[in-house]
Structure 1
Amino acid sequence: MEMNQSQRLPVPQQVAWEALNDTELLKQCIPGCESIEPDGDHAYLLAMTAAVGPVKARFKGRMALEDIQAPDSYTIRFDGQGGAAGFGKGSARVRLEPDGDETVLTYTVNAQVGGKIAQIGSRLVDAAARKMADTFFARFTEAVTPDATDSTPAAEGAPAAAAGDNEPTEQAKRKRSWTAWISKS
């Protein structure tokens, strides 16, 4: 399977680069991701649940960042096992290019699948991969997009928080995050 796509991010290149290297942010944005743990220099162990057609499985795998050209590009090599469901392995070349105050992220993925997942057929596998990529980028773009409402609570009719009292803001953030997560699932 090969997949190419570009995504415009409403942030400068350095901000996009830092977000792409923030494992907590990535964990929130990757559909079905349960954990991302360090495993050496520029390497991580992942656990996630994924569904391809009628096959749903928990995958455990490893990804390593190679050819790192900060803040412009890197290659991600990945390998995951899903038990009886099969396996997935491959690489993704990720490139960031500044465009004014924004950044254009371009990626090319080359992947192979085997086991029950491969028996489903390339159309369903490709469709599931595109859906996961679309969901990831919708979540990622929302996560990196500056929220103008956080800096101007009085503009929304909310009273300004007293010095040191930021609980209403945190509560509003949690509510917005939960609502966004539900609407994207």
Structure 2
Amino acid sequence: MALEMTGQCAIACPRERVYAALNDEAVLKACIAGCEEIERLSDDTMRAAVVAKVGPVKAKFRGKVTLSDREPPSRYRITGEGDGGIAGFAKGSALVTLADLPEGGTRLSYQVEAQIGGKLAQLGQRLVAGTAKQQADLFFANLVRYLDAPPAE
């Protein structure tokens, strides 16, 4: 099953700070719902484990994430593959672009293309797409909260 999704959000921080956060595995772990671990393997590769629930199917996905097409602090492409065992697999990429807002802050835009197979694909496009959209919205809400929080002492 193929899945495409686009979206954007406004973040009240400079592009440089948003870009740095999107490349920090500790920030990603804090913002991705169900993320149990992220480990940086190299400058542009990470390994992750995420527990996801789509309808009646709950699975732990393990996989690699690669960052490419980097143009700090304006854009990058994040590509990943995850195996959820009997639940299925997911692979895809997202182009993330950052632009200055006229009133200050940053507009983050994303374009996602993904392939899903196994039991997850049998659940139907509407359920999977709805869950993916919810997870994206939650990630960006968490990112905004993280960037708005005062720095730790």
What secondary structure sits across from 1:39 in the alignment?
strand
Identity across matched positions, percent: 44
Cα distance change on mapping 1:8 and 1:86 into 2, 3 Å? same
Residue from 110, 113, 133 that aligns with 1:110: 113
| 2:72 aligned partner | 70
* Distance in 2 (alpha carbons) for counterparts of 1:131 and 1:142: 16
> Does residue 97 of structure 2 align to residue 95 of structure 1?
yes
The alpha-carbon deviation at position 22 of structure 1 amounts to: 1.3
The alpha-carbon deviation at position 58 of structure 1 amounts to: 0.4
* Distance in 2 (alpha carbons) for counterparts of 1:132 and 1:38: 22
The alpha-carbon deviation at position 21 of structure 1 amounts to: 1.1
| 1:8 aligned partner | 10
Q: Report the AA paired with residue 141 of structure 1.
A: V
Structure holding more helix per residue? 1
- What is the root-mean-square deviation of aligned Cα atoms in Å? 1.4
| 1:35 aligned partner | 37
Query: Structure 1: which 4+ aligned runs deviate by more than 6 Å?
Result: none
Q: Which runs of 5+ in 2 are unaligned?
A: none
What secondary structure sits across from 2:77 in the alignment?
strand
Structure holding more strand per residue? 2
* Distance in 2 (alpha carbons) for counterparts of 1:79 and 1:66: 14
The alpha-carbon deviation at position 120 of structure 1 amounts to: 0.4
* Distance in 2 (alpha carbons) for counterparts of 1:146 and 1:137: 14
| 1:136 aligned partner | 139
* Distance in 2 (alpha carbons) for counterparts of 1:4 and 1:116: 24
* Distance in 2 (alpha carbons) for counterparts of 1:18 and 1:50: 26
* Distance in 2 (alpha carbons) for counterparts of 1:39 and 1:85: 26
The alpha-carbon deviation at position 146 of structure 1 amounts to: 4.9
**Corresponding residue pairs, total:** 150
Where relative contact order (Cα < 8 A, 6+ residues apart) is larger, the structure is 2
Larger Rg: 1 or 2?
1
TM-score for the superposition, normalised by structure 1: 0.78
